[in-house]
Structure 1
Amino acid sequence: MKYSVLAGREVDTWSEEWRLECEVLFLAEMPLARRNEALDGVKDGLRGIRQIRGDAAVAQLRELIDRYAALARA
């Protein structure tokens, strides 16, 4: 079990909540330009998360990244 900033409680490290938290943390720590490339896939024709999972998934990740940053600062 690990503490999840997004969930506000301990979660199982094998759970979807923890997987999502790790993904959000990974993306949040990237420089903004690199994060946008990973999400939008605009560099060298490489596919990004948008091309693989769709617009809704990218919108959710961007929202969670912002939420994570706000919670981490508090």
Structure 2
Amino acid sequence: MTYSRDTKAISELTGQSVSTWSEEWRIETEARALLKMSKEQRDAFFNGRKDADGRTVDRGVIGIRGLEAAEEIKATMERLQAFRSGSK
């Protein structure tokens, strides 16, 4: 028996079909998730969190993937937000 999975989706930003295994798709879906978060949640996502004693609980995207990756995600998030508001 052979199973087939559709590994293509339509990018909200480009309207084009993209592989759901691609880096482009990962970043776009991450940007979508971020737009659903509050500002505080986004700050924690990018910068990490500390507990009441000041110990790092979560390093965040900047601490794990680096500043360049965080800036790429933020830029995609801003493009998506602009696209959704009609100022493409």
1:32 maps onto 2:62 in alignment: no
Q: How many residues align?
A: 74
Letter of the structure 2 residue corresponding to residue 25 of structure 1 = R
Match of 2:13? Answer: 6
How many angstroms apart in 1 are the aligned matches of 2:21 and 2:66? 24
Which one scores higher on RCO, CA 8 angstroms, separation ≥ 6? Answer: 1
Query: Rg larger in 1 or in 2?
Result: 2
How many angstroms apart in 2 are the aligned matches of 1:35 and 1:61? 11
The structure that is helix-richer by fraction is: 1
Q: Which runs of 5+ in 1 are unaligned?
A: none
The structure that is strand-richer by fraction is: 2
Q: Which runs of 5+ in 2 are unaligned?
A: 1-7
Asked whether the 8 Å contact 1:7–1:17 carries over to 2, the reply is no
1:58 maps onto 2:75 in alignment: no
Letter of the structure 1 residue corresponding to residue 65 of structure 2 = R
Match of 2:85? Answer: 73
Sequence identity (%): 36
Asked whether the 8 Å contact 1:28–1:69 carries over to 2, the reply is yes
TM-score by length of 2: 0.73
Measured on the aligned residues, the alpha-carbon RMSD in Å equals 1.5
Letter of the structure 2 residue corresponding to residue 8 of structure 1 = G
